[in-house]
Structure 1
Amino acid sequence: MAPLHSKSHTSLGSRKSSIFNFIQQPPQPDVYYVGVDVGTGSARACIIDTNGIILGLSERPITRHELKANFITQNSTEIWNAICYCVKNCIRESGVDPEDVFGIGFDATCSLVAINEKTDEPMAVGPDFTDHKENIILWMDHRSVDETIEINSSGDKSLKYVGGQMSIEMELPKMKWLKHNMPGGINSCKFYDLADFLTHKATGSEARSYCSTVCKQGLVPPGVDGSTTGWSKEFLLSLDLEELVEDDFRRLGGIPDKNGTFLSAGDIVGKLTAKSAEELGLSTECIVGSGVIDAYAGWIGTVAGKVDNPTVSNKLDSKNNGTILTSCGRLAAVAGTSTCHIAMTKEPCFVQGVWGPYKDVMAKDYWLAEGGQSCTGALLAHVLAIHPASNELSHLAEASNLSKFDYLNLILENLVVDNKSRSVVSLAKHMFFYGDFHGNRSPIADPKMRASIIGQSMDSSVNDLAIQYFGACEFIAQQTRQIVEEMEKGGHEIDCIFMSGGQCRNGLLMRLLADCTGLPIVIPRYIDAAVVFGSAILGAVAAEEAVQEHIHKKGKSRRSSILETQRSQTSLNKVGSGVQLGDGQHSPYTAPTATASTTNMATLAYASTQTGSHHQFPTMTPMTEETDYFNQPPQKKPFSDEDDSEDEQTLSFGSKSNVQKGLSQKLGNLSLKPLTKTTDTSPGAKLWKVMEKMTGPGKVILPSDENHPDRKLLNAKYKIFLEQCYKQQEYRDLVDGVEAENIKG
């Protein structure tokens, strides 16, 4: 984790009377939920109880193919098999009876899946159209450049709701490319976003999610801007996509509430089919919740978190009216290779360069917006990889038993002492690092943007690498401030940033984010598992009524009767296949405890052993200064970058499943109550209720006082950052104009 100092904001005594030291309510016996997350490089699954405690976590890599430049594909059969392996494995790890899993939720990357309408089998998406196993065009596939340009030149009103223009990462340009390049066209196809395909595979339902279709396929929900059918017949016909219009848009899932079912996050899709239940190792009474794009599962898994700072807690609580409206003002930053910034509002807020506003994605009549940085984790990995001292850093960090980032942070501390600098921030006062190496997603939405670095010398030492690394971290933080400011100009009111992902362990980066934005940064209980945890919440939301019936009838519900009948007929398949700092002090930017993993929370446990359950919970370790949740020592074992999935290079410091393993039954100490029946039928009520009960505590990092010297310096450098951003565009226009005249001449 990444605290402000090596000590928490609150004293141990005050914490003993806070929500973090109330006795954990025991979970409801025999009630569990599974979450599935499909990322770019791996599939993972977790199982949670009614308090949101992860009891088991499993991960398996998945492959992607690039047979031709910019053509990147995946295999839906491989992904489903990986999911089945992970679900069975995490259930086995937890010791939970599969029949006690009431709900399952899915999230995935926003990739396009092509399926044969008649056979429901995969269809090849090229470049090798004879290979029908490769039926997914990955989100990062950039084959549809011309199609994207044509769509964005149409001026259709749907573009207004995707930040002004469609991204090449979205799915309509990919469908248009297939129309003109697939042998025989798309007459045999139906299309799904990957998350929707997974719920289809699990249930057989053709239901689609508003998250997938609104965010990535161009659906404008009925009632928005005169839309009556969701899809625009005129728009699709103008793009030569008459096949998508046939039979009231059946290939896209149909028209909402006519011939198609479209659902918000966690709405019930259906129960598992007999086939999918057997493959997943679950029962046919397990209920499937409507899925979301992976970053949105990160929003679900973080923004309802409690914090350890009374100032921030009181401010957030003052806006808590018990409905999902409470989440408005809480920005989720879901970080990996790139970072997505997701915020909810009650009314639509239009921000140039920020995708959305998207209606009904999380809850009926609420809107979400999605900003983003195309290069954050990948930026830090790139800066380390290209520097002449890269290999030296690897050897030194390994010899010191530290991660590369912790080692660089300690080098910066040493440089402060050696150079008699005022602070770590002032070390890099003449380093002006603008890091859009891979274009800009938000807020200027310019894919032609590139990096510019002012202040480089011929120094090729590890010390110079540390300064450039600091510059990259500062860039990420300054650009986050730029995104937040643009969102606030468009009507958002951002109070707090809820982070997730491996970058949370970088104390330097988290402190810079707080000081650049001037906002509290909240680190979640589950750093690496926030997304898959969010998908498990989707399963809990969908299964809530079944759970209430089960609890109310004390395990003698209709569900129980059905399972008893099934047990008498068949047996379910339950298993499947060193640096020293000069004066011994650390700045709040680089204190070693700022990067301690959340696995340190494993010293906590449930208060009592739950009897009558399939799963036993140990007694809670007494809270002492040594076992203080907020002041755990850093990990001592070596970190390994080789185990990380490709979509979070070097940032997790080890496999996600290993990082979170052992958290089962040991992450108590929350004042959460078992699920209780609610009569609130307002939009998003069930989702928010479950999120609040399950999300648990987060660690808050407060910005320094606005008159602090580092804040003043960062404010001055922000002006330079903005000049580097907009001047680059001016310079390009200038030389492009000259070149145009040269070519004409």
Structure 2
Amino acid sequence: MADTYFVGVDVGTGSARAALVNLKGTVLKQCVKAIKTWNPENDHYEQSSDDIWRSVCHCVKEVTSDADKAKIRAISFDATCSLVVLGANGEALTVSNTSSNEQNIILWMDHRAHAEAALINATKHELLQYVGGQVSLEMEIPKLLWLKKNIKNTWKNIWRVFDLPDFLTWRSTGADTRSLCSAVCKWNYDAMKMCWSAEFLKKIDLEDLCRNNFGIIGQSICEPGTAVGAGLTKQAAEELSLLPGTIVGTSLIDAHAGALGMFGCRAVLNEHDKQLEAALDNLQGKLALICGTSTCHMSLTREPCMAHGIWGPYRGAVLPKYFLNEGGQSAAGILLDFVVKSHPQYTAIQAKLGQNEHIYTYLNKLLKKMTEERKCEDMCQLTKDLHVWPEFHGNRSPIADPNLRGMITGLNMNDDEEALALLYLAFVQALAYGTRHIIDNLVEKHKRVPYSSMLFCGGLAKNNVYVQAHADICQLPAVIPDEQEMVLVGAAMLGACAAKAFESLEATSKAMGGNGVLLKPKSSTKDFHNRKYRVFLQLLEDQRKYKSIMEMECSCTSIV
């Protein structure tokens, strides 16, 4: 078994990736290839399932090129929760106003279905209690309703619709199955009764999906990590350069794969920190943050916890016998990129960076220097007079309002490097205050089991200023896995479980989760962040006040 390997495939917002992973959860080789996104009009983001599959095949071939294919026991997939639409014989069907069939995926971050989400939420159906009280326009049912209303030729010719992770397992096995993770988290599947609700679909004018025993949206719902069909088909095996029949594990959404990978990660503790060991090992006390373009906040409980604006509780969405709650920020990494790249100093800083130096590394060093020069007790104090409400792309959790917008107070006319560094730090802190807002909503308002630690993976997990800000603002220890590619490891875990390398998915997570570095919160910053958090919450109230003022009917009378 020592030379047994698994392939994990992750399809994110901008790229497909694959990794060869061993039984210890170590990534031995990985490959990444960009995928194409179309943005033909405001709020419309579209991709191609053919383009994605080609990129997946390229990456898998690359990471397995030197491996003995007979020793690769399984392959599994995770992907963004994007909607894939197929017609007869699995051919791509357009989801675009451009009418291009190549554009057959509505990307997760697409916000075209505002009206449809509002219509669904107005029903106040009991299923909505499992999505924080209201469906998000990022989920699949509002997007399907939009398709029915707006692209009628596509609607009448649909054969199957898939969540992107399920498309990948279907494309590789030919088995028409769906992951419980995708179905319950993004399709309003009733995980408590383990069935689709015909009554719900009829109520929102999607009874077409009930035909042929829900064949369009999937009759067979499988738990993550179970084997799909008979493994790789001959065609898929050739395209991936693997052996036919290689086991394929039921998929997860990409963020959920990262959570699975991290839930089993252990913090390396010194003698002074041993008292934290029990708390850090408590699965119900862990908050997993998957920090990329967006940030997803994942946590598990034995008993269901219902909270407004927090998705879930989803039964069995990641691990059997646990309920998943999912918070999130629609814009995280992409927001920091926007702030930094739109600043006048961005081009000048980029021009003087070394080949392997990242602009965030440069800004972090500059912030440290500014802290010393200004004789601040801690870096966080640099933003004493600069405050941000970060919802430039709407709020996913815990308010669940896609119409909220960003706010900044404390700006001046400085446009030098230090001004950019301060603005960047204020936005990093604002994202961390957003995480605290999610935690408070769950623990204080809804009596969830208190959190004892946070775990970080994704691009932003490599930024210590971002992680330390979260630890200080939430006053929770943070764990950063030694293996940085935990989403890929989580994907590989699904295959390892399907191949029965371990007795259960939970055991697989613990065996392959590896170790991590512990960052402890600084108690000296607690009072500062408590006050700044009060400002953060006040910004929300101010925005609501401004909106209310502007929506008041004008009482002015015209002068003749």
TM range, normalised to the smaller chain? over 0.9
- The aligned residue for residue 695 of structure 1 is 513
**Could you list the per-position Cα deviations for residues 229-271 of structure 1 after superposition, in whole angstroms to 9, with x for gaps in the alignment?**
62221221122222111122121112xxxxxx21121012131
- The aligned residue for residue 188 of structure 2 is 218
Kept in 2, the 8 Å contact 1:102–1:285? The answer is no
Whether 2:41 is the aligned partner of 1:68: answer: yes
- The aligned residue for residue 357 of structure 1 is 313
Kept in 2, the 8 Å contact 1:103–1:543? The answer is yes
- The aligned residue for residue 288 of structure 1 is 248
Please give the alpha-carbon distance, in whole angstroms, between the structure 1 residues aligned to 2:547 and 2:404. Answer: 10
Please give the alpha-carbon distance, in whole angstroms, between the structure 2 residues aligned to 1:729 and 1:96. Answer: 58
Kept in 1, the 8 Å contact 2:85–2:158? The answer is no
SS of the equivalent of 1:119 reads helix
- The aligned residue for residue 242 of structure 1 is 207
Task: Spell out the pairing of 1:505-524 with structure 2 (5 A cutoff).
Answer: 505-524=462-481
Amino acid at match of 2:247: I
- The aligned residue for residue 478 of structure 1 is 433
Measured after TM superposition, the shift of residue 350 of structure 1 is 0.9
Whether 2:255 is the aligned partner of 1:300: answer: no
Measured after TM superposition, the shift of residue 744 of structure 1 is 13
**Could you list the per-position Cα deviations for residues 694-723 of structure 1 after superposition, in whole angstroms to 9, with x for gaps in the alignment?**
111111100013xx1x22211111111111
Kept in 1, the 8 Å contact 2:8–2:490? The answer is yes
Alpha carbons of structure 1 residues 454 and 488: separation in structure 2 relative to 1, 3 Å: same
Alpha carbons of structure 1 residues 386 and 691: separation in structure 2 relative to 1, 3 Å: same
Kept in 2, the 8 Å contact 1:346–1:365? The answer is yes
SS of the equivalent of 1:475 reads helix
SS of the equivalent of 1:290 reads strand
Please give the alpha-carbon distance, in whole angstroms, between the structure 2 residues aligned to 1:315 and 1:728. Answer: 40
**Could you list the per-position Cα deviations for residues 486-517 of structure 1 after superposition, in whole angstroms to 9, with x for gaps in the alignment?**
12132142111100112122222221111100
Task: Spell out the pairing of 1:629-708 with structure 2 (5 A cutoff).
Answer: 678=503, 686-705=504-523, 708=524
Please give the alpha-carbon distance, in whole angstroms, between the structure 1 residues aligned to 2:25 and 2:545. Answer: 50
- The aligned residue for residue 430 of structure 1 is 385
Please give the alpha-carbon distance, in whole angstroms, between the structure 2 residues aligned to 1:355 and 1:743. Answer: 47
Choose the corresponding residue for 1:406, options 347, 352, 361: 361
Kept in 1, the 8 Å contact 2:47–2:106? The answer is yes
SS of the equivalent of 2:9 reads strand
- The aligned residue for residue 467 of structure 1 is 422
- The aligned residue for residue 236 of structure 2 is 276
Whether 2:85 is the aligned partner of 1:114: answer: yes
**Could you list the per-position Cα deviations for residues 40-75 of structure 1 after superposition, in whole angstroms to 9, with x for gaps in the alignment?**
111111111112121211111111223333332211
- The aligned residue for residue 387 of structure 1 is 343
Whether 2:86 is the aligned partner of 1:86: answer: no
Alpha carbons of structure 1 residues 318 and 216: separation in structure 2 relative to 1, 3 Å: closer
Whether 2:137 is the aligned partner of 1:168: answer: yes
Alpha carbons of structure 1 residues 289 and 339: separation in structure 2 relative to 1, 3 Å: same
Amino acid at match of 1:728: Q
Whether 2:513 is the aligned partner of 1:540: answer: no
- Greater relative contact order (Cα < 8 A, sep 6+): 1
- The aligned residue for residue 501 of structure 1 is 458
Please give the alpha-carbon distance, in whole angstroms, between the structure 1 residues aligned to 2:55 and 2:556. Answer: 55
SS of the equivalent of 1:59 reads strand
Provide structure 1 residue ranges, at least 5 long, that are not aligned to the other structure.
1-27, 255-260, 321-325, 548-674, 679-685
Measured after TM superposition, the shift of residue 120 of structure 1 is 2.5
Please give the alpha-carbon distance, in whole angstroms, between the structure 1 residues aligned to 2:111 and 2:6. Answer: 36
Kept in 2, the 8 Å contact 1:108–1:292? The answer is yes
Kept in 1, the 8 Å contact 2:94–2:154? The answer is no
- The aligned residue for residue 23 of structure 2 is 50
Please give the alpha-carbon distance, in whole angstroms, between the structure 2 residues aligned to 1:204 and 1:415. Answer: 58
Choose the corresponding residue for 2:109, options 131, 140, 156: 140
Deviates more, 1:413-422 or 1:34-43: 413-422
Whether 2:96 is the aligned partner of 1:126: answer: yes
Alpha carbons of structure 1 residues 107 and 742: separation in structure 2 relative to 1, 3 Å: farther
Choose the corresponding residue for 1:193, options 157, 163, 172: 163
Kept in 2, the 8 Å contact 1:113–1:136? The answer is yes
Choose the corresponding residue for 1:730, options 538, 545, 556: 545
Amino acid at match of 1:300: L
Alpha carbons of structure 1 residues 715 and 743: separation in structure 2 relative to 1, 3 Å: farther
Measured after TM superposition, the shift of residue 731 of structure 1 is 2.6
Measured after TM superposition, the shift of residue 184 of structure 1 is 6.5
Measured after TM superposition, the shift of residue 392 of structure 1 is 2.8
Please give the alpha-carbon distance, in whole angstroms, between the structure 2 residues aligned to 1:103 and 1:85. Answer: 17
- The aligned residue for residue 265 of structure 1 is 224
Please give the alpha-carbon distance, in whole angstroms, between the structure 1 residues aligned to 2:254 and 2:528. Answer: 36
Between structure 1 and structure 2, the one with the greater Rg is 1
Amino acid at match of 2:216: R
Please give the alpha-carbon distance, in whole angstroms, between the structure 2 residues aligned to 1:185 and 1:477. Answer: 41
SS of the equivalent of 2:89 reads coil
Kept in 2, the 8 Å contact 1:123–1:189? The answer is no
Kept in 1, the 8 Å contact 2:309–2:397? The answer is yes
Kept in 2, the 8 Å contact 1:68–1:127? The answer is no
Kept in 1, the 8 Å contact 2:117–2:137? The answer is yes
SS of the equivalent of 2:90 reads coil
Amino acid at match of 1:333: L
Choose the corresponding residue for 1:152, options 121, 128, 132: 121
Moved over 4 A (4+): 310-314, 741-745
Please give the alpha-carbon distance, in whole angstroms, between the structure 1 residues aligned to 2:162 and 2:177. Answer: 10
Measured after TM superposition, the shift of residue 691 of structure 1 is 1.1
Please give the alpha-carbon distance, in whole angstroms, between the structure 2 residues aligned to 1:319 and 1:393. Answer: 40
Amino acid at match of 1:435: P
Alpha carbons of structure 1 residues 217 and 306: separation in structure 2 relative to 1, 3 Å: same
Amino acid at match of 1:115: L
Q: Which structure: greater strand fraction?
A: 2
Amino acid at match of 2:317: V
Measured after TM superposition, the shift of residue 187 of structure 1 is 4.9
Amino acid at match of 2:505: L
Choose the corresponding residue for 1:417, options 346, 351, 372: 372
Kept in 2, the 8 Å contact 1:306–1:313? The answer is no
Kept in 2, the 8 Å contact 1:307–1:313? The answer is no
Whether 2:294 is the aligned partner of 1:371: answer: no
Amino acid at match of 1:193: D
Measured after TM superposition, the shift of residue 308 of structure 1 is 1.7
Amino acid at match of 1:303: F
Instruction: Count the aligned residue pairs.
Output: 554
Kept in 1, the 8 Å contact 2:27–2:483? The answer is no
**Could you list the per-position Cα deviations for residues 98-148 of structure 1 after superposition, in whole angstroms to 9, with x for gaps in the alignment?**
1211111100111111122x423222223233x333221211222222222
Whether 2:298 is the aligned partner of 1:333: answer: no
Please give the alpha-carbon distance, in whole angstroms, between the structure 2 residues aligned to 1:422 and 1:696. Answer: 35
Amino acid at match of 2:53: W
Alpha carbons of structure 1 residues 418 and 362: separation in structure 2 relative to 1, 3 Å: closer
Amino acid at match of 2:368: E
Please give the alpha-carbon distance, in whole angstroms, between the structure 2 residues aligned to 1:723 and 1:494. Answer: 25
- The aligned residue for residue 454 of structure 1 is 409
Kept in 1, the 8 Å contact 2:268–2:517? The answer is yes
Amino acid at match of 1:244: L
Alpha carbons of structure 1 residues 184 and 413: separation in structure 2 relative to 1, 3 Å: closer
Please give the alpha-carbon distance, in whole angstroms, between the structure 2 residues aligned to 1:363 and 1:69. Answer: 37
Please give the alpha-carbon distance, in whole angstroms, between the structure 2 residues aligned to 1:695 and 1:743. Answer: 68
Amino acid at match of 1:502: G
